[in-house]
Amino acid sequence: MTEVEILTCLRHKNLVSLYGCTSRQSRELLLVYEYIPNGTLASHLRSHSTKPTLLAWPTRIKIAIETASALAYLHASGIIHRDVKTNNILLDNNLCVKAADFGLSRLFPEDISHVSTAPQGRPGYLDPKYHFCFRLTNNSDVYSFGVVLIELISSLPVVDMGRNNCEITLGSLAVRKIQRNEFEELVDPCLGIEKDSELKRKVTAMGELAFQCLQIKSEMRPSIDEVLDILREIEREKKDSKDAKEDNDNGGSGISKNKAGIDAAQPMMASITLNQATFFKSSSSPNNVTEKWTSESTNPNLSV
């Protein structure tokens, strides 16, 4: 009933469409959705699908952007998904995202800051504040999406009992690797960042964004709208740099404007211009995320 109530009033290109349901007189109550032929993002990242697809970086960041777009639409509609995970991110024949499974979703009135409710969701994706304090907010989805970003970067499982106790969940593993300046160890080797400095900057930029999403205090995380804006900036950084170079080559001022009115000759994000060491360690990193995380948590297992 929750899914019917939510999906009948929503229309977005990155949300799975609900076609209808069986009647009360049927032997079984079933929901009928559009068929999404390419399986889940999880199956592609870990090659469990019948026709696994090598997900190159442009495809991965496109998936991240389309998933964030779907979540931004939900949040603007007063809905918290509450079960954001790669198993609920479906891919069509063109590897476009269709977010699915709204059985745990909650309507979220505009005039409240949080909903007090028993935690539900898959281990490894669950917002620590929601898990321990029973406080569900829009930024609970942001935390889960931060884990999805790390999955897109690493292709690693979200929960692995074979890892060290402090690194069983992917969120915990990512935080520890980033704080130790070992981010590159997380990156899926098939992306080939060691051969492409441009790609390395973009993957590292997504890593910092994921790190901000994974902060313990929900109010320290960006909103999903901010996450979406940053992902779009990361995706188009090369194009803007190319446009600026062409303008210089043509004798122009070397400054072009993108649609947002930002100087394309200037860095789109501070993180893109920083090397990995300063990215996660320097006090100049946006919001001082490393310092804030360390000061707020001494227990890396909180990311369960």
d(CA 85, CA 143): 11
Distance CA 288, CA 191 (A): 28
Please identify every residue annotated as catalytic.
83
Question: What ranges do the domains of the chain cover?
Answer: 38-235+278-302
Mention the CATH class of domain 38-235+278-302. Answer: mainly alpha
Structure tokens at 107: 């309507």
In angstroms, the CA 126 to CA 134 distance is 11
pLDDT block averages, 10 residues each, the chain of length 304: 80 91 83 92 76 80 98 92 93 95 68 46 72 65 95 93 85 92 94 94 96 90 96 82 53 41 35 37 38 39 40
Read off the amino acid at residue 44. H
The residue type of 52 is P
What is the C-alpha separation between 43 and 45, in angstroms, rounded?
6
pTM of the model: 0.75
Cβ count near 132 (within 10 Å): 13
Strand, helix or coil for residue 111: coil
According to the model, what pLDDT value does residue 218 have? 83
Q: What is the DSSP letter of 257?
A: B
Report pLDDT for 234. Answer: 96
pLDDT of 46 reads 81
**Helix or strand or coil: residue 6?**
helix
